[in-house]
Chain A
Amino acid sequence: MIACLSIPYFVAAVERRGDEALMDKPLVVGGQPWEARPLFAFSSEAARAGVRPGMSLRLAYSLFPDSRFLPAAQERYRQSTGEIAHTLADFAGRIEAQDLWLQLPTRTAETAISRTLPAYYYLDLEELPAREALSLAADAGRAVRRESRLAPSIGIARRRFTAEVAAALARPNHARPIVPGEEAQFLAARPITFLPLPAETLRRLAALGIGTLGRLAAMPLPELRLRFGPEVEAAYYMASGRSRVEDAVPAPPRERVVRAAGRFETPLTSTLALDAALVRLAGSLAARLAEAQAEALQLQVRWEAEEGERGQRAVALRRPTADSRRLAGALRELVMPLTFPGGVSYLAATAEFQERQVRQPSLFDAGPAAEAGLDLDRLIARHGAGLFFRPAPAEPGHVLPERRFLLVER
């Protein structure tokens, strides 16, 4: 999950924090109305009067003469955003800050979000479940409010863009979680101005009647790509709340099986003969698996009884193996409980396989592992190789004499 903390009109919020007298006054930051330069930032009241990023101070004054005009103190704003990032570092390992208040939007990059000149912070909450992500993000929001005396709004979603939109729509000091799976529904009614698209593309989309994210997501992607170019592809996935990876078509799986079979002129009637035949089948399978450098995952056995009756059974192996004894054991489990009054005339075994995994030797090789009841193979199979190590003495010619030990993968 990704939590997005947004502080809209960040510069105005920092100015107001430093001076209580500015609390209810509309603000334009960047200089005085008579100075010939663009404004730096403004408050929400000025935005409602029509003030926009990049506008000249003089025009801002003519639109909203009651505004209080202040010089910009960029260093103070940077310090504030750094403090917030520092506070958030307690809550997530990976944090990204986006200072949209500093980037004067151009005509091609202006979005419904950047228009409010906010400070944005993204917290990577990895695969934390939604409810716990909400709790953690709410804690983070409270910490930011306590430490910085600013009012963040929080959006929580599986995708970054969805979290951004949720944060932009949340009230200050409130969190808006988007339940996984409901992203498209949440985004559908939002305007396409949330998308980071060039102004011309937005205009053309609007002219075609595509005014909301839902409408864009409903369009066929190849058509969109053809008409608007590849840049619209990312916007399409953002609007649908999905990622490219989810849409990727998986490659068709190639057949991964080995087979062994035997037909018997004299039907196998005794248990001993049947067992010997199963051992031979297991040996053939093991040889073919070894040739393919693979391990069997699943075994299937088919038989024909002398009376003409046919049947088959399958089993998923608890642990992948290419060992003939284990394969024979699995085949025995499949076949031996059955009864064949007239004997078996045909037996065939099929093993679905995977490439052999590099597996490390068992934990405490000398025996304490068994005593301790530790099954390191199981741990490695579950969590992957390359995580479990055994410190071992370094070779005598090690380049660093003080390094007497090396870590050897188990």
Chain B
Amino acid sequence: MDLDTRKQVAAVVDAIRERWGEGALHPGSQLNPPPPLPTGIPPLDEALGGLPRGGLTEMIGIPSAGATTLALKIIAEVQRHGQVAYLDLPQTFDADFAARCGVALEPLLLVRPHSLRQAAAILRDLLGLGGLDLVVFDAYGEPPRALQAALGRSGPLLATLTRSRSALIVLVSQPLRQQAPARSVLAFPHTAARLVVRKEAWLYRGPDIGGYRALILITKDRQGPAGKQIAVTIRLDDAVTIEAP
């Protein structure tokens, strides 16, 4: 860029700042995206680089696949240094199981909205208030299209999420009759990461079930290549643990 062009650009920048304020323009070098949230599950952190703040992470699975357990373990990790809210739309939050997953219940904000529309409104407000590091939106059992419409029509919601430093996890049930697990259920263009959780096999301890093996497929990742698979073992002892097999 020659000197004249530089001067012209500087003049244009000054004119824009004068008219629209200092905050109207930012050099790219000043953009510092907040560091992603570690999930506390080493293979997942390695593959995903952590949960993106200001981004939406879809977590998809049929009921009992392990998506909720995974979310609870992530909550437990985030609570070590931050604040978490849990929107429990199906009203199935199990405090005992959450405690076994390591979730600190006292500081957890649990919200039980009555309808999807109300949930979307509260979600927008929670993200707008700031101060939360992670918001988990349990939307299990909601019709995918209705969910998509409720969240999608909240233009301010997505704008608020992008501005906030919170990470958002949306738990979505995968219809049982849907054959292709990698297909997006929510199909949000704003999704930063999409994890499909599948149960592979039960693990027995004698006649009792002691846990199960699950597979996490990363079908979308804005920060890296998609298509990675992570096998984990979820042990359902007194304390629920997730470990690499």
Complex contact A91–B105 (CB within 8 A)? no
Asked whether any CB of chain B lies closer than 8 Å to the CB of A146, the reply is no
| CB neighbors of A among B129-146 (8 A) | 129-132, 142-146
Given A372-B83, A379-B122, A390-B110, 4 more pairs with CB closer than 8 A: A91-B145, A126-B116, A405-B96, A405-B105
- Contact flags (1/0) for B94-107 with A, using CB distance below 8 Å? 01101100000111
Asked whether any CB of chain B lies closer than 8 Å to the CB of A407, the reply is yes
With A387-B113, A388-B111 known as contacts, the answer to whether A404 contacts B130 (CB < 8 A) is: no
Complex contact A383–B175 (CB within 8 A)? no
| Among B106, B116, B122, B144: residue with most chain A CB under 10 A | B106
Give Cα distance in the complex from A136 to B144, angstroms.
Answer: 11
Asked whether any CB of chain B lies closer than 8 Å to the CB of A364, the reply is yes
Query: For residue A407, which residues in chain B have a CB less than 8 angstroms away from its CB?
Result: 93, 95, 110
| CB neighbors of A among B156-180 (8 A) | 175
Asked whether any CB of chain B lies closer than 8 Å to the CB of A247, the reply is no
- A218 vs chain B, min Cβ distance (A): 35
Report the nearest B residue to A139, measured CB to CB.
B145
Query: For residue A391, which residues in chain B have a CB less than 8 angstroms away from its CB?
Result: 93, 95, 98-99, 105-106, 108, 110
Asked whether any CB of chain A lies closer than 8 Å to the CB of B192, the reply is no
With A89-B143, A92-B143 known as contacts, the answer to whether A132 contacts B149 (CB < 8 A) is: yes
Cross-chain pair count, CB within 8 angstroms: 102
Query: For residue A387, which residues in chain B have a CB less than 8 angstroms away from its CB?
Result: 111-114, 118, 122
Complex contact B142–A93 (CB within 8 A)? yes
- Contact flags (1/0) for A369-403 with B, using CB distance below 8 Å? 00111111011001100011111100000000011
Asked whether any CB of chain B lies closer than 8 Å to the CB of A90, the reply is yes
| CB neighbors of A among B67-103 (8 A) | 83, 93, 95-96, 98-99
- A364 vs chain B, min Cβ distance (A): 5
Asked whether any CB of chain B lies closer than 8 Å to the CB of A128, the reply is yes
| CB neighbors of A among B17-40 (8 A) | none
Complex contact B105–A392 (CB within 8 A)? yes
Complex contact A402–B110 (CB within 8 A)? no
Asked whether any CB of chain B lies closer than 8 Å to the CB of A129, the reply is yes
Query: For residue B5, which residues in chain A have a CB less than 8 angstroms away from its CB?
Result: none
How many residues does chain A have at the interface if contact means C-beta atoms less than 8 Å apart? 39
Complex contact B106–A126 (CB within 8 A)? no
Complex contact A132–B153 (CB within 8 A)? yes
Shortest 3 CB-CB distances between A and B: which pairs?
A: A372-B131, A405-B95, A373-B131
Give Cα distance in the complex from A91 to B144, angstroms.
Answer: 7
How many residues does chain B have at the interface if contact means C-beta atoms less than 8 Å apart? 36
Chain B positions within 8 Å of A, measured between CB atoms, are 83, 93, 95-96, 98-99, 105-118, 121-122, 125-126, 129-132, 142-146, 149, 153, 175
Complex contact B125–A136 (CB within 8 A)? no
- A344 vs chain B, min Cβ distance (A): 41
Give Cα distance in the complex from A163 to B221, angstroms.
Answer: 42
Give Cα distance in the complex from A374 to B126, angstroms.
Answer: 8
Give Cα distance in the complex from A23 to B16, angstroms.
Answer: 66
With A373-B130, A374-B129 known as contacts, the answer to whether A388 contacts B110 (CB < 8 A) is: yes
Query: For residue A127, which residues in chain B have a CB less than 8 angstroms away from its CB?
Result: 117
Query: For residue A308, which residues in chain B have a CB less than 8 angstroms away from its CB?
Result: none
- Contact flags (1/0) for A170-204 with B, using CB distance below 8 Å? 00000000000000000000000000000000000
Report the nearest A residue to B107, measured CB to CB.
A364
Q: Choose from A383, A390, A402 the contact partner of B125 (Cβ within 8 Å).
A: A383
| Among A92, A139, A391, A392: residue with most chain B CB under 10 A | A391
Asked whether any CB of chain B lies closer than 8 Å to the CB of A368, the reply is yes
Give Cα distance in the complex from A153 to B83, angstroms.
Answer: 49
Complex contact B115–A91 (CB within 8 A)? no
Asked whether any CB of chain B lies closer than 8 Å to the CB of A363, the reply is yes
With A374-B129, A375-B129 known as contacts, the answer to whether A368 contacts B112 (CB < 8 A) is: no
Complex contact A383–B83 (CB within 8 A)? no
- B71 vs chain A, min Cβ distance (A): 15
Complex contact B96–A388 (CB within 8 A)? no
With A373-B130, A374-B83, A405-B95 known as contacts, the answer to whether A389 contacts B125 (CB < 8 A) is: no
